[in-house]
Chains A and B, each alone.
Chain A
Amino acid sequence: MRRAFLRGASLQANDAVAGELKDEFPIFRTHAGSGPLVYLDSAATSQKPLAVLDAMEGVYREACANVHRAIHTLGEEATRRYESARTRTATRLGAASRREVVFTRGTTESINLLARTLGEGFSSGDEIVLSEMEHHANLVPWQQLAARRGLKLRFVPVLDSGELDLAAYERLLGKKTRLVGVTATSNVLGTVNPVRSIADLAHAAGALVLVDAAQYIPRSGAKVTELGADFLAFSAHKHYGPFGIGVLWGREALLEAMPPFMGGGDMISDVTLEGFTANELPWKFEAGTPAIAEAAGLEAALDWLDSVDPDALGGYESELAARLIAAFDEIPGVRVLGRAPGRAGIVAFTVEGVHAHDLAAWLDRSGVAVRAGQHCAHPLSRRFGDGALAVSSARASFAAYSRIADADLLASLVRRAREEA
């Protein structure tokens, strides 16, 4: 049996597991740069294990045909693999049925789908509550909707600690609140939000709840319903899966009541020249030929993630983050954004005298890949900035192949950058 992360084990023990798992990621042998790759940008996208690449290639080599149409064997096999991914996702999320799992291109499309369907049922004066720490993907679709429908957007403030101001949140809720949209894990601050309490308060106010789970690793065995969400969106590519596929999960009764999103093949049950009848769930929301190989990749990614114990992996990532932050705290002039307890493996930071872009370019020379900039969260960057000037920060993020040595190398390079600046 292959190795999995261990709960309650030492950081060193899990580091050894990460070392073994890293061999399953071809990128570390075949990447475009020179020298060893230290990849600390997994919050932007994770690297992909061989099992995922094989699953996708398998579709093209063995079952390349369109789904839900062909009467031939290949078509049946392609359909089987595509729908198998849906069943696997539904089981993993603890969904009530596979009809609740809609495949999209990713988190962004999932949220846009919701804004364009559910959102169109909102009326002028209705309110949507979001937070200041949302990624643009959970801001802009609602801004567009608000402009179309005359809605009011309200924002839960972020405290200096990087946590949401829950007292302020309670005051924002009211009779007009139709939807609360919140990220489960901040892609900048690493804060893991108390989604269940947020959802309970929203429901008590009669609002629906959307959880942006792009950065969130669900506990193994956890049911999405336990989060208290009515809708949940995520992308495969941040969880060891391929680009180009993601999920919108929603409660069946809600999805059933929503109008279709894009029009085209597969989302219809009948079409005349004058009109169409929408297909049943979940295909009602899946117009056109879907990402079939990517669905197989998503299934393989979920299998892979579960095989390494996601709960223990989450703990390991948090410990790496804590180690990195402790090292940063020893370096004068390094500031970590957000200090929420129980954070995920995401650490955004600034270095006095060194612009984040320059730092990232310089780190890249040593083979260390980090993100730099505003991380698709301009309002949050302004919130942690200096007056009108948004903070531009570097961000390190960890995954199953991250090693203690990666965190230590980053800390020592940052120290050097700070001293030489």
Chain B
Amino acid sequence: MSDFAEAVYEETIRDRYRHPRFKRVLEGLPYLENPSCGDRVRISISMDDEGRIADAAFDGNGCSISMSSADMMAEHLMGKTAAEARGVVELFLGVLRGELDRDALDELGDAAAFKGIARLPVRVKCAALAWRAALAALEEEGSR
């Protein structure tokens, strides 16, 4: 990746960290925690009558990577069916685990900013936190 691309990606991450669009207080939901740094996030997903995600939001404390990642994820989940949402989440986590090519993130808009992170094992956990929480939330939603 060029220095320029990295700089653009970084700006995206910084912007989403400072001005999250999908962050609000979510009382009563359980947190998913990253034990090495103490970052924590919780996700709320609600479906409409047609089985599409009408609202996605997150709440938590953490570094710019974990929080901006959560914000971008919430944006991606909006309007998707549970199966589609799961597909997106699996794609993102697959790239972070190194199982899928990093370019696969290109179809995820802003989340392509995490291409560089996929090479940094320590920060992968930060970027993956919200998406792992979303898998659990989707499962919960599916069992309802």
Listed in ascending order, the chain A residues whose CB lies under 8 Å from chain B are 355-358, 361, 372-374, 378, 381, 385, 389-392
> Is B128 interfacial (CB-CB < 8 Å)?
no
Contact B63–A357 (Cβ < 8 Å): yes
User: How far apart are the CA atoms of A335 and B129 in the complex, in Å?
Assistant: 27
Question: In the assembled complex, which residues on chain A have CB atoms less than 8 Å from the CB atom of B38?
Answer: 373-374, 378, 381, 385, 389-392
Contact A378–B37 (Cβ < 8 Å): no
Closest to B40 in A: A389
Interface residues in B91-127 (C-beta closer than 8 Å to A): 123, 126
User: How far apart are the CA atoms of A372 and B126 in the complex, in Å?
Assistant: 13
User: How far apart are the CA atoms of A392 and B62 in the complex, in Å?
Assistant: 9
Flag B69-104 by CB within 8 Å of A: 1 or 0 each.
000000000000000000000000000000000000
Jot down 21 A-B pairs with beta carbons below 8 A, ordered by A.
A355-B62, A355-B64, A356-B37, A357-B63, A357-B123, A358-B63, A358-B65, A372-B37, A373-B36, A373-B37, A373-B38, A374-B35, A374-B36, A374-B37, A374-B38, A378-B35, A389-B38, A389-B40, A390-B38, A392-B37, A392-B63
Closest to B34 in A: A373
> Is B39 interfacial (CB-CB < 8 Å)?
yes
Range for the number of chain B residues in contact with chain A: 10 to 19
Flag B48-77 by CB within 8 Å of A: 1 or 0 each.
000000000000011111000000000000
Task: Contacts A361-B123, A378-B35 given; indicate if A356 touches B63 (C-beta within 8 A).
Answer: yes
Question: In the assembled complex, which residues on chain A have CB atoms less than 8 Å from the CB atom of B65?
Answer: 357-358
Instruction: Give the most central of B35, B36, B37, B123: most A CB within 10 Å.
Output: B37
User: How far apart are the CA atoms of A378 and B64 in the complex, in Å?
Assistant: 21
Question: In the assembled complex, which residues on chain B have CB atoms less than 8 Å from the CB atom of A385?
Answer: 38
User: How far apart are the CA atoms of A389 and B123 in the complex, in Å?
Assistant: 20
Closest to A391 in B: B38
User: How far apart are the CA atoms of A358 and B62 in the complex, in Å?
Assistant: 9
CB of A418 to closest CB in B, whole Å = 15
Contact A392–B39 (Cβ < 8 Å): yes
Listed in ascending order, the chain B residues whose CB lies under 8 Å from chain A are 35-40, 61-65, 123, 126
Question: In the assembled complex, which residues on chain A have CB atoms less than 8 Å from the CB atom of B64?
Answer: 355, 357-358
Closest to A392 in B: B38
Contact B36–A355 (Cβ < 8 Å): no
Question: In the assembled complex, which residues on chain B have CB atoms less than 8 Å from the CB atom of A361?
Answer: 123
User: How far apart are the CA atoms of A392 and B64 in the complex, in Å?
Assistant: 13
- 20 further A-B contacts with Cβ under 8 Å, apart from A357-B123, A381-B38, are A355-B63, A355-B64, A357-B39, A357-B64, A357-B65, A357-B126, A358-B63, A358-B65, A361-B123, A372-B37, A373-B38, A374-B37, A374-B38, A378-B35, A378-B38, A389-B40, A389-B61, A391-B38, A392-B37, A392-B38
CB of B120 to closest CB in A, whole Å = 8
Closest to A378 in B: B35
CB of A194 to closest CB in B, whole Å = 29
Contact B35–A357 (Cβ < 8 Å): no
Question: In the assembled complex, which residues on chain B have CB atoms less than 8 Å from the CB atom of A374?
Answer: 35-38
Question: In the assembled complex, which residues on chain A have CB atoms less than 8 Å from the CB atom of B36?
Answer: 373-374
Question: In the assembled complex, which residues on chain B have CB atoms less than 8 Å from the CB atom of A378?
Answer: 35, 38
Closest to A421 in B: B18
User: How far apart are the CA atoms of A275 and B37 in the complex, in Å?
Assistant: 47
Closest to A136 in B: B35
Question: In the assembled complex, which residues on chain A have CB atoms less than 8 Å from the CB atom of B62?
Answer: 355, 357
Instruction: Give the most central of A373, A374, A378: most B CB within 10 Å.
Output: A373
Question: In the assembled complex, which residues on chain B have CB atoms less than 8 Å from the CB atom of A373?
Answer: 36-38
User: How far apart are the CA atoms of A357 and B39 in the complex, in Å?
Assistant: 10
Closest to A355 in B: B63
CB of A323 to closest CB in B, whole Å = 27
Closest to A386 in B: B61
CB of A387 to closest CB in B, whole Å = 11
User: How far apart are the CA atoms of A389 and B126 in the complex, in Å?
Assistant: 16
Pairs A-B, 4 closest by C-beta atoms: A357-B63, A355-B63, A390-B38, A373-B37
User: How far apart are the CA atoms of A176 and B123 in the complex, in Å?
Assistant: 45
CB of A376 to closest CB in B, whole Å = 9
Question: In the assembled complex, which residues on chain B have CB atoms less than 8 Å from the CB atom of A358?
Answer: 63-65
User: How far apart are the CA atoms of A390 and B37 in the complex, in Å?
Assistant: 9
CB of A137 to closest CB in B, whole Å = 15
Closest to B125 in A: A357
Question: In the assembled complex, which residues on chain A have CB atoms less than 8 Å from the CB atom of B61?
Answer: 389
Question: In the assembled complex, which residues on chain B have CB atoms less than 8 Å from the CB atom of A356?
Answer: 37, 63
User: How far apart are the CA atoms of A385 and B64 in the complex, in Å?
Assistant: 19
Question: In the assembled complex, which residues on chain B have CB atoms less than 8 Å from the CB atom of A357?
Answer: 37, 39, 62-65, 123, 126
Instruction: Give the most central of B38, B61, B62, B123: most A CB within 10 Å.
Output: B38
Question: In the assembled complex, which residues on chain B have CB atoms less than 8 Å from the CB atom of A392?
Answer: 37-39, 63
User: How far apart are the CA atoms of A356 and B39 in the complex, in Å?
Assistant: 10
